[in-house]
């Protein structure tokens, strides 16, 4: 396997961070936005939904397009002509011949779709937390915007560390075994946060549970890698787009649903639990290795 240079890793990391950055920068201000705009929490969360749907639909457009005309031109177009001096990543002799046939082949790939659904439900659970935690921690538990930002940043660090750890464990442990284990751990922590809503555990315990849920979400890197390994090179752009779209759409739907009728720790915890449970159910299903 060819080694990826540090500069390439940095570039790809920065590109991957554009989507999360566009939402994370204003998450601490969601409660204040709701007050100043005289909007309900659910309506305010729809701004997060709109951005996630835009990210998802954009991938659905540019992914198949990259299978047809290559990777470089859509990248330059989407970044408004930024100067990236790279060679074409998809030679003409390896390009897909039909967008429709390629898309149908990807959708009919049961192994890919299984991991795609797992990823989508996991991201839905993560965004149920992301979309509600600002309101819950600041309004229900009295956190300041700065304190919330610190907690949220800590969870982000945990997610990054977990992604690194799980990607290396995947070399020795079966990917599905890792996924199931991570999902079970996340579900148990989500159930404990449901319990917190009734017995009011100390705030440090609640923060630790949130950190563990985010940490367990890092197992998603393994699922994403397994999903992409299930498709051929000529389908990779379409497959990546389909998975990206479904993940952001699922996440966009989950973000405001967890806040219907008012933000509470109980509603948020139940939403997280349901999403991760659905992901686990998909992970427990058995399929053959054929498309």
- Taking only the tens place, the pLDDT of each residue in 232-246 is 666 666 777 777 778
- Is 124's pLDDT higher than 80? yes
Q: Kindly state whether residues 104 and 197 are assigned to the same domain.
A: yes
Q: Which two tokens stand for residue 114?
A: 């299984």
pLDDT band, residue 18 (cuts 50/70/90): low
What does pLDDT average to over the chain?
75
CATH of the domain at 111: 1.20.1250.20
Q: What is the DSSP letter of 192?
A: H
Q: Kindly state whether residues 108 and 163 are assigned to the same domain.
A: yes
Dihedral sign, CA of 117, 168, 19, 105? negative
> What average pLDDT does range 84-97 have in this prediction?
48
Dihedral sign, CA of 123, 147, 205, 197? negative
> What average pLDDT does range 257-264 have in this prediction?
70
Q: Kindly state whether residues 55 and 199 are assigned to the same domain.
A: no
Residue 94 lies in a domain: no
pLDDT of the residue at 85 = 40
Q: Is the pTM of this model over 0.85?
A: no
Residue 249 lies in a domain: yes
- Is 102's pLDDT higher than 70? no
Q: What percent of the chain has pLDDT over 90?
A: 5
pLDDT of the residue at 100 = 54
- Is 222's pLDDT higher than 50? yes
Q: Kindly state whether residues 81 and 113 are assigned to the same domain.
A: no
CB 183 within 8 A of CB 219: yes
Residue 93 lies in a domain: no
More confident call, 139 vs 225: 139
User: Distance (Å, rounded) from C-alpha 153 to C-alpha 163?
Assistant: 15
- Is 207's pLDDT higher than 60? yes
Q: Kindly state whether residues 188 and 239 are assigned to the same domain.
A: yes
Longest dimension (CA), the chain: 63
Residue 62 lies in a domain: yes
Residue 128 lies in a domain: yes
Domain boundary among 26, 57, 86: 86
- Tell me which residue range forms the domain holding 29: 6-86
List the single range of 83-92, 98-107, 108-117, 244-253 with lowest mean pLDDT.
Answer: 83-92
Q: Where are the alpha helices (DSSP H) in 109-144?
A: 110-135
Domain boundary among 86, 118, 153: 86
pLDDT of the residue at 175 = 79
CB 160 within 8 A of CB 217: no
Residue 11 lies in a domain: yes
Q: Kindly state whether residues 176 and 268 are assigned to the same domain.
A: yes
Residue 289 lies in a domain: no
């Amino acid at each position: 396997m060819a080694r990826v240079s540090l500069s390439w890793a940095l570039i790809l990391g920065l590109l991957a961070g554009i989507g999360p950055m566009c939402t994370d920068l204003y998450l601490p201000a969601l409660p204040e936005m709701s007050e100043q705009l005289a909007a309900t929490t659910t309506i305010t969360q729809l701004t997060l939904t709109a951005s996630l749907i835009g990210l998802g639909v954009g991938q659905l457009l540019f992914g198949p397009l990259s299978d047809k005309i290559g990777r470089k031109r859509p990248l330059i177009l989407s970044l408004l002509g930024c100067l990236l001096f790279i060679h074409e990543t998809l030679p003409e002799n390896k390009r897909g011949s039909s967008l429709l046939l390629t898309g149908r082949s990807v959708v009919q790939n049961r192994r890919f779709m299984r991991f795609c659904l797992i990823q989508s439900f996991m991201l839905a659970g993560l965004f149920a937390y992301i979309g509600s935690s600002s309101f819950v921690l600041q309004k229900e538990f009295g956190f300041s915007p700065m304190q919330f930002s610190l907690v949220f940043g800590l969870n982000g660090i945990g997610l990054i560390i977990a992604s690194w750890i799980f990607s290396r464990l995947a070399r020795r442990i079966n990917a599905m075994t890792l996924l199931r284990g991570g999902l079970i751990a996340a579900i148990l922590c989500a159930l404990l946060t449901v319990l917190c809503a009734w017995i009011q555990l100390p705030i440090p315990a609640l923060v630790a549970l949130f950190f563990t849920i985010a940490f367990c979400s890092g197992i998603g890197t393994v699922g994403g890698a397994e999903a992409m390994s299930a498709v051929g090179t000529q389908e990779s752009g379409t497959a990546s787009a389909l998975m990206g779209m479904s993940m952001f759409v699922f996440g966009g739907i989950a973000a405001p649903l967890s806040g219907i009728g008012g933000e509470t720790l109980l509603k948020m915890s139940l939403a997280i639990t349901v999403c991760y449970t659905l992901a686990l159910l998909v992970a427990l299903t058995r399929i053959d290795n054929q498309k």
